[in-house]
Chain A
């Protein structure tokens, strides 16, 4: 968490597959269950091999599973809070679990992004896309004057057009 400053050129769109270290981590967690190893390892093995991520500029989707296929899509704007948790095995591999919460009623995380090599950079990216991370007033200042100016310019054109029309009207009145 206090590693080097997150890479400025971090590109989430380049992440489509989890890091190979995730499979090692899955194997170790499965081995820790001793007798339960085959039952724990097989689902994790298939999860790792089918896990796919897709980050675009509005949201992120992840999908996994062979028999039971799951796909989750959420937009960055709807993220309520981000939880990054890492146990000491994950810390050894430089991995983390980035859990993203939306306002839905489910108690667990809506999306738990695992096996990312640079979790801090991913979290900073998600954070920067969250509501409230950017100053709303700043955005308004950037947008509103442009839109306002256009409306104002239109109104001024209408006024000037009317103004040009008005003397003409008066002249016509006077001529007739």
Chain B
């Protein structure tokens, strides 16, 4: 997964150096911070098929767009602040303090951007989704790795959300909710790791996944609330064999009484 998000044709010298650094960073994360390198798995039964996937590549570009917008706004603010301070110092006659502050100001402006840029890549590379015929597992996070497991039998509803910017990138979020309050309130105000909810972020084929999951909800005969007696109605059902024997009994009784 390391650096796999870079298209090969753009891998110039700078990109290769960045990739090499990024691979090194991954090694540190894997060795020292025990970040798992393999995608998560789910217990699978023999007939099930398992699908492991990541957010679409457009999701990384979408995250980077927000990264550039936020960085630009913050950096413009910081630059204006530094220039104002520098001009004030020049006017006051302490021009050498303004010069001394220049590298510090540059560091404050640039260094957090580099970390944020790496964090965007790491966020994309550590997000994994696994789906089987019965359940779904979502993994995300670097500092705190969070894994959510939901069986489709418990799912109450499925939402597909897409904002205008996401539409421009052709991605959307698929939100899978189980019963329970899940903290209440607006889902957009909460983090992705809330209770009773699984969020599949930034995928290009949300409709396909929804169409995969929906039939499994329709198959379910229960309310998805841990119903204990769900097998009882099936046990009590009359099969054609039973009906045939019952008709014979009726016929016997009819001959006896007649």
Contact of B43 among A1, A78, A128, A156 (CB under 8 A): A128
Q: Is B43 touching A127 in the complex (CB atoms < 8 A)?
A: yes
How distant is the Cα of A128 from the Cα of B242 in the complex, in angstroms? 34
Residues of B contacting A159 with CB < 8 Å? 245, 248-249, 252
Q: Is A101 touching B178 in the complex (CB atoms < 8 A)?
A: yes
A126-168 vs B, Cβ < 8 Å mask (1 yes, 0 no) = 0110111101100110011001100110011011001101100
Q: Is A132 touching B154 in the complex (CB atoms < 8 A)?
A: yes
What distance in Å separates the Cβ of A161 from its nearest Cβ neighbour in chain B? 9
How distant is the Cα of A108 from the Cα of B255 in the complex, in angstroms? 68
What distance in Å separates the Cβ of A5 from its nearest Cβ neighbour in chain B? 9
How distant is the Cα of A159 from the Cα of B249 in the complex, in angstroms? 5
Q: Is B45 touching A135 in the complex (CB atoms < 8 A)?
A: yes
Residues of A contacting B224 with CB < 8 Å? 131
Within B166-216, the residues touching A (CB, 8 Å) are 178-184, 193, 195-196, 198
Interface size for B (C-beta < 8 A) is 62
Stretch of B76-84, B102-110, B115-123, B137-145 on the interface side? B137-145
Residues of A contacting B230 with CB < 8 Å? 136
Stretch of A11-19, A47-55, A84-92 on the interface side? A84-92
B112 at the interface (CB under 8 A from A): no
Q: Is A81 touching B148 in the complex (CB atoms < 8 A)?
A: yes
Q: Is A131 touching B151 in the complex (CB atoms < 8 A)?
A: yes
A29 at the interface (CB under 8 A from B): no
What distance in Å separates the Cβ of A143 from its nearest Cβ neighbour in chain B? 6
Within B211-227, the residues touching A (CB, 8 Å) are 220-222, 224-227
How distant is the Cα of A139 from the Cα of B221 in the complex, in angstroms? 14
A79 at the interface (CB under 8 A from B): yes
How distant is the Cα of A104 from the Cα of B196 in the complex, in angstroms? 10
A70-107 vs B, Cβ < 8 Å mask (1 yes, 0 no) = 00000101111111111110011000000101111111
Q: Is B34 touching A107 in the complex (CB atoms < 8 A)?
A: no
Q: Is A103 touching B179 in the complex (CB atoms < 8 A)?
A: yes
Q: Is A91 touching B134 in the complex (CB atoms < 8 A)?
A: no
How distant is the Cα of A127 from the Cα of B252 in the complex, in angstroms? 52
Q: Is A88 touching B245 in the complex (CB atoms < 8 A)?
A: no
B146-160 vs A, Cβ < 8 Å mask (1 yes, 0 no) = 111111111000000
Stretch of B9-17, B85-93, B231-239 on the interface side? B231-239
Q: Is B231 touching A80 in the complex (CB atoms < 8 A)?
A: no
Q: Is A166 touching B252 in the complex (CB atoms < 8 A)?
A: yes
Known: A101-B196, A106-B181. A83 touches B148 (CB 8 A): yes
What distance in Å separates the Cβ of A90 from its nearest Cβ neighbour in chain B? 8
Residues of A contacting B148 with CB < 8 Å? 81-83
How distant is the Cα of A148 from the Cα of B245 in the complex, in angstroms? 13
A117 at the interface (CB under 8 A from B): no
Q: Can you show 30 pairs from A to B with CB atoms below 8 A apart? A: A2-B37, A75-B226, A79-B154, A81-B148, A81-B150, A81-B198, A84-B146, A85-B193, A86-B145, A88-B144, A91-B35, A101-B178, A103-B196, A104-B180, A107-B182, A127-B135, A130-B151, A131-B222, A131-B226, A132-B134, A132-B153, A133-B151, A136-B230, A144-B235, A144-B237, A147-B235, A152-B242, A155-B246, A155-B249, A162-B256
* Residues of A that sit less than 8 Å from B by CB: 1-2, 75, 77-88, 91-92, 99, 101-109, 123-124, 127-128, 130-133, 135-136, 139-140, 143-144, 147-148, 151-152, 155-156, 158-159, 162-163, 165-166, 169
- Additional pairs, 9, CB under 8 Å, beyond known A104-B180, A127-B42: A1-B145, A83-B149, A87-B143, A87-B144, A109-B195, A127-B149, A135-B134, A136-B220, A162-B249
